[in-house]
Amino acid sequence: MSDVIEALSREAEVAEFHRKFVKDGSVPAFQSINAAGIARFEELGFPHAKHEMYTFVNTHELANTRFQLTQGQADAAFVDANTYPACQKARLVFVDGQYDPALSETSGLPQGVSLVALPEALEKEPGLKSCIEKGIAEENDVFASLNAAFVNAGLLIDFAENTVLETPLLILHIGTASKEPVVHHPRLLLRLGRTAEAKVIHKYVGEGGGYCVNAVQDVLLEDGAGLTLARVQADPADAWHLEKLRVFQKRDSRFTALCGSGGCRMARVHYEIHLQGEGAETNLSNASVLTENDQSHHFVRIHHEVPHTTSHQLFKNVIGGKGRSSVDGTVIVNEGAQLTSSEQLINNLMLSDTAHADNKPNLMIFADDVKCTHGATVGQIDKDQLFYLKTRGLEESLATELLTTSFVESLIREIPFPEVVEDLENLLLGKLEVKRD
Amino acid sequence: MTEPAKSSSVEDVLEDRGKYKYGFKTMIESETFPKGLNEDVIRAISAKKKEPEFMLDFRLKAYRKWLTMKEPKWPNVHYPPVDFQDISYYSAPKPKEKLESMDEVDPELLRTFEKLGIPLDEQKKLANVAVDAVFDSVSVATTHKQKLMEVGIIFCPISEAVQEYPELVEEYLGTVVPVGDNFYAALNSAVFTDGSFVYIPPDTISPMELSTYFRINTEETGQFERTLIVCAENSYVSYLEGCTAPQFDTNQLHAAVVELVTLENAEIKYSTVQNWYAGDPETGKGGIYNFVTKRGKCQGNNSKISWTQVETGSAITWKYPSCILQGDNTQGEFYSVALTNGLMQADTGTKMIHIGENTKSSIISKGISADKSSNSYRGLVKVGPKAKNARNYTQCDSMLVGDKCSAHTFPYIETANNSVQLEHEASTSKISEDQLFYFESRGISRENAIQAVINGFCKEVFKQLPMEFAVEAQKLLALKLEDSVG
């Protein structure tokens, strides 16, 4: 790279890269979104070391990596291997951030479910377009603004009123192997009509590492709609995983996210949940198992905007090696949002001397008739429990493994899809297995 | 006392260290520097205090550092920017010749302290408490000095300590809160005028509680006091601090620094009841900006520092009494009740930095917000990689009284080794209607019932306070909440 470019700030470099991206032919329907995204990015800039939203996350390396936008081909066998048997007929495959209809299978989806390319959907519905544009203009996460700046394909998954999805829909994100660092910008919009019920599984995997997936998802839940989302983050250890999930919930809607994370070079998920209708309920849980240099960070903002809404959060992290985990969660109860009930619990199990666990469970409360609690613990395996197992003749290593795995297993077992439970057990608990001869 | 207020110019002070022109402000004759801050003002303060060279260097170093720093914006409080050039950095009751006994203290001043209930009069010996009273920026009287000297305890204004025990001051000043630690600490290091100095020699248990009472009297002055407490090996001291200020329409700045050092097996217990003027509850006009840096260092092994605070005043509070647990087996404690009402804003909490092995800390914080106030707890528990077997227990509860107030919790928990045990719990709620109903059904008025519930809510903290303070704190809470509930 020439000296002139080197002298530019990283922000200016990204802006320059964006001009080239637009010139090389971005999708016309996305032009206004791309423009709004880059404008927001330039306002926000990359986070400095003491940025409140990135207190525990070092983004220096990420911001200074020069990513390319290239497109690879996924192997059909790899896709099949990562498809859960129950989802054979309902899977959407994104390869390097782009929706791949050839690898996808939608015959199992009921009538009420429609898939529309995002540009088309936005053109048809000005209401949707203004909602997306507002989200970009008010974006507080710089990486999500970059998604908007570079997005060139996206999908609206629309569940019509009263649609009930019996078998789960699998959304598979695949990163292909690449020699140079590449970045993908998948963007999804999930909309559930009145009293629609859906089950969705998100799985992030890579054929090879070195990529950065920078995903944004908007979820709109109308009155009485219910979405159960399972997330499996299984990116290779040298990948970057950034994700922003924004949820808007109307009256009596339910949103449940049950996640398992194996971490990677840097995984960071940002949840922004708006409870906008009375009786809306959110459940969020995540189990992380981190070893070696894995990192997994969660940043949560739950806005209780109206009276009588509920939120539950549970995070369990097992951290070994030089792993780093952080949970920065804030529950905000707006003025007048009486009868809010909110719970947050973060449990960390530290396995090594070099592991790092940072927690910041915040509450911001502007109403008096509410019940909000949070708790956080950091600890090790209970010596009494270990002793008990040893008196029953278990080897120390086996007893330790048993206690460690049961710490996260209880959370994984909550997931209502047996295949996902099995997959996560292999993925996460496999990392904790003691090597025996 | 009708002569209009005049202030001595900085140049005058620098030129002539003996003669000053004194103006009268309120009822007390006082001497105030003109507003503004520059190196000359600092030199003038230092000259006025007849300080040794090292102190001037310390101040100038802090001032130069301060110039490069920015006012912190991260606290969850909102206020118009403070014009640091619109503050007078030195105000003192008119100095008489050296005070020999309490009789020579301005009777008006004595009456003020009497009104505040501070036993300055040694004859009365009401309570077995040694008091150092700080009026605006200057320490006016220290009681029980003789008795303390008998056991070797030094308890005197810090300006006196700088002259009489310069080696002790030089050894410890700025070791816990360095000159450039934060914006307000740097400002304080540059311009502090007085405060208390305590040195407890080895193997000494202080025979009485030590106490300082701070009062800001003059309008548009800042109070920058500095407290340094050093507790040598195997010693113990309990120290109380109380604060008040009269009612003014303008905001006054209070930027204090408190440094505590404990050597091996020593223990310091530091209690504060803060009731600065909080501004008009309706308009928010006036009140004290309380931007304070308090930090203790458990330097020696097996030492302990305990902070107890009852914060009921100030328009804005920004304060995090902290413990650096450096020695092995050291302990840090923080007990806090923070009450906000009217339009008060508080962002307060603690920092527990675990460095040594087997260190323990516990945090109990109770926040009560009423009316339209905002109350935040912000705390850090940090465990370093070498702090084996560190333990922390944190409990921060908030109570809301009224539907216009807000309560926030921002705990930071950072751990970097695997032998720690940390627990953090927090809850936010309002007073339960069931509890109130129970009281009322027994014929207890709603107001008394609320008081009883709130006292129960704060009990864990109050029981840490010395008895007289605990009674005062309970009354203070009741008084403050009088108009907010019922």
Following DSSP, what letter does each residue of B64-128 receive, concatenated?
Answer: HHHHT------SS---PPP-TTSSBS-EEEPP-S---SGGGS-HHHHHHHHHHT----TTT--SS
Higher pLDDT, B363 or B75: B363
- With CA atoms as reference, report the closest residue to A139 among A148, A130, A126, A127: A148
Would you give the DSSP letter of residue B219? T
- Please give, rounded to a whole number of angstroms, the shortest distance from the CA of B153 to a CA of chain A: 42
Q: How many Cα atoms occupy the beta-carbon half-sphere of A220 within 13 Å?
A: 17
Per-residue model confidence as pLDDT tens digits over B3-24: 444 444 444 444 433 332 222 2
Domain contains B249: yes
pLDDT recorded at residue B21: 27
Q: How far apart (Å, rounded) are the C-alpha atoms in residues B195 and A3? A: 56
Q: Which pLDDT band, with edges at 50, 70 and 90, does B216 fall under?
A: low
State the smallest CA–CA distance between residue B48 and chain A in angstroms: 40
Is B285 exposed, middle or buried (CB count within 10 Å of its CB: 0-12, 13-18, 19+)? Answer: middle
Angle at A155 between CA A149 and CA A157, to 5 degrees: 140
A378 contacts B422? CB cut-off 8 A: yes
Q: What is the CA radius of gyration of chain A?
A: 22
Could you tell me if A238 lies within 8 Å of chain B, comparing CB atoms?
no
| Amino acid B479: pLDDT | 76
What long-range pairs does B11-14 form, CB within 8 A, spacing at least 24? B11/B40, B13/B44, B13/B47, B13/B48, B14/B40, B14/B43, B14/B44, B14/B47
Give the Cα separation of A37 and A235 in Å (integer).
26
pLDDT, residue A311, reads: 95
- The A residues from 327 to 356 touching B (CB cutoff 8 Å) are 335-336, 338, 348, 350-356
Specify the amino acid at residue A129: K
Stretch B127-139: mean pLDDT, rounded?
Answer: 58
State yes or no: ipTM above 0.85.
no
CB contact under 8 A, B412 and A352: no
> Closest Cα of chain B to A410: distance in Å?
20
> How much is the average pLDDT of A26-41?
83
Inter-residue contact A432 to A316 (CB < 8 Å): no
What percent of chain A lies above the pLDDT cut of 70?
97
Q: Both ends of chain A: CA-CA distance in Å? A: 51
Q: Is B408 on the interface with A (CB under 8 A)?
A: yes
The answer to whether residue A9 scores a pLDDT higher than 60 is yes
Portion of chain B with pLDDT greater than 70, in percent:
78
Report the pLDDT value the prediction gives residue B129, as an integer from 0 to 100. 54
Return the structure tokens found at B252.
Answer: 């006054």
Strand pairing report for A371-379 and B23-24: unpaired
Domain with B134, as residue range(s), is 10-319
Closest of A328, A298, A331 to residue A312, by C-alpha: A331
Report the C-alpha dihedral over residues A147, A148, A150, A155, rounded to 10 degrees: 90
In a domain, B116, yes or no: yes
The per-residue pLDDT for B219 is: 54
Average pLDDT, stretch B142-161?
82
pLDDT at position B2 over 50: no
* Under 8 Å between Cβ of B294 and B320: yes
Residue A430 or B483, more confident: A430
Q: What is the DSSP letter of A164?
A: B
Q: How far apart are the first and last CA of chain B?
A: 45
List of residues 6+ apart from A19 with CB closer than 8 A: none
- pLDDT, tens only, B321-341: 999 999 999 999 999 999 898
Looking at per-residue pLDDT, the higher value among B47 and B217 belongs to B47
pLDDT over threshold 60, residue A269: yes
* Chain position carrying tokens 């217990």: B269
Residue, of A433 and B437, whose pLDDT is higher: B437
Q: Does residue B75 form part of some domain?
A: yes
Q: Does the model's pTM come out above 0.90? A: no
What is the distance between the alpha carbons of residues B134 and B14, in angstroms, rounded to a whole number? 24
Q: Looking at A70-74, A298-302, A309-313, A374-378, which range is the least confident one? A: A70-74
The residue type found at B124 is: K
pLDDT averaged over every residue in chain A: 88
Per-residue pLDDT, B20:
24
- The CA distance from A391 to A389, in Å, is 5
- How does strand B154-157 pair with strand B196-200? antiparallel
Are A116 and A129 contacting, i.e. CB atoms less than 8 angstroms apart? no
pLDDT for the residue B486: 46
pLDDT tens readout for residues A352-409: 888 889 999 888 998 888 888 888 888 888 889 999 999 999 998 889 888 998 998 8
**Residue B468, domain member (yes or no):** no
Which pLDDT value is given to residue B241? 82
Q: Which of B263-267, B268-272, B349-353, B463-467 has the lowest mean pLDDT?
A: B463-467
Tell me the β-bridge partners of B209: B129
For the CA atoms of A21, A23, A28, A29, the dihedral, rounded to the nearest 10 degrees, stands at: 30
The number of domains in chain B is 1
- Among B76, B413, B433, most A C-beta atoms within 10 A, so best to mutate, is B413
A357 and B425 in contact by Cβ < 8 A? no
Residue A366 has which token pair? 């502007």
Interface size, chain A vs chain B, as Cβ–Cβ contacts under 8 Å: 122
* B136 vs B232, residue with greater confidence: B232
Distance CA A29, CA B74 (A): 40
Per the CB < 8 Å rule, is A369 touching B403? yes
Question: What value does the mean pLDDT of chain B take?
Answer: 80
Q: What is the pLDDT of residue A57?
A: 84
Residue B104 backbone dihedrals phi, psi, to 5 degrees: -85, -5
What integer pLDDT is reported at residue B113 of this predicted model?
A: 56
Q: Could you tell me if B406 lies within 8 Å of chain A, comparing CB atoms?
A: yes
**How much is the pLDDT for B79?**
83
Contact with chain B for residue A52, Cβ under 8 A: yes
Give φ, ψ of A137 to 5 degrees: -65, -30
- Residue B57 confidence (pLDDT) above 70: yes
Report in angstroms the alpha-carbon separations of B150 from A120, B120, B207, B269.
89, 20, 10, 22
**Per-residue pLDDT tens over the stretch A317-354:** 999 889 999 999 999 999 889 899 999 999 999 988 88
Is the model more confident about B141 or about B320?
B320
Nearest residue, CB atoms, B426 vs list A357, A367, A374 = A374
Does residue B154 fall inside a structural domain?
A: yes
Q: How many helices (H) and strands (E) does chain B have?
A: 12, 26
Q: Which of residues 22-81 of B touch A (CB under 8 A)?
A: 74
Indicate yes or no: CB of A358 within 8 angstroms of CB of B414. yes
Q: Which residue, among B413, B408, B395, has the nearest Cα to B347 in the 3D structure?
A: B408
Measured CA to CA, the distance from residue B237 to residue B258 in angstroms comes to: 15
Q: What is the pLDDT of residue A17?
A: 85
Residue A54 — very low, low, confident or very high, per pLDDT cuts 50/70/90?
confident
Residue of higher predicted confidence among A280 and B143: A280
pLDDT surpasses 50 at B93: yes
Mean of pLDDT values over A170-190: 88
Reported as a single tens digit per residue, the pLDDT across A397-417 is 889 888 998 998 889 998 999
**A379 touching B (Cβ < 8 Å):** yes
Phi, psi of A113 (to 5 degrees): -100, 125
Where residue B297 falls among pLDDT bands split at 50, 70, 90? Answer: very high
Q: Which of A43-52, B391-400, B407-416, B452-461 has the lowest mean pLDDT?
A: A43-52
Q: Does A380 sit within 8 Å of B411, measured CB to CB?
A: no
pLDDT (tens digit, 9 = 90+) per residue, A217-266? Answer: 999 999 999 999 999 999 988 899 999 999 999 999 999 999 999 989 89
Look at strands A371-379 and A113-117 and give their pairing.
unpaired
Residues of B in contact with A358 (CB under 8 A): 412-415
Nearest of A27, A17, A334 to residue A183 by alpha carbon: A17
SS3 content of chain B, % helix, strand, coil (to 5): 25, 35, 40
Domain boundaries, chain A: 3-277, 387-437
Query: Is-contact B315 B289, C-beta < 8 A?
Result: yes
B66 φ/ψ angles, rounded to the nearest 5 degrees: -60, -40
